[in-house]
Amino acid sequence: MEPAVYILGTLTCLACAVLLFRAYFRTKMRLLLWSGICFSGLSVSNALVFLDLIILPETDLYLWRLATAAASMTFILYGLIWEKQR
């Protein structure tokens, strides 16, 4: 059951990223771009959770997972601040 949850979380984040990028290319609103980048990073982070806990349980990828999620949140935070100043 756990692998299905990890895969569904990854696919959900990836679907959100695709929809956000599609909306960005249609409207050219930069906040959509930053959100798409954030969700792309979160899908990578979720994929690393699957790799870490299911595929490679003997390998510790905790710092990679955390760094990927933190970088993703940094992108959306930067986008929110940058769009506020414009």
The pTM of this model reads 0.92
- Domain holding 34, by residue range, is 2-85
From CA 46, how far away is CA 50, in angstroms rounded?
A: 6
How many structural domains comprise the chain?
1
pLDDT band per the 50, 70, 90 thresholds, residue 83: confident
Q: Is the pLDDT of residue 70 over 90?
A: yes
Residue at 59: amino acid letter: T
pLDDT band per the 50, 70, 90 thresholds, residue 33: very high
Nearby residues of 85 by Cβ (< 8 Å), 6 or more positions away: none
Exposure string for 34-51, b = 16+ CB within 10 A, e = fewer:
bbbbbbbbbbbbbbbbbb
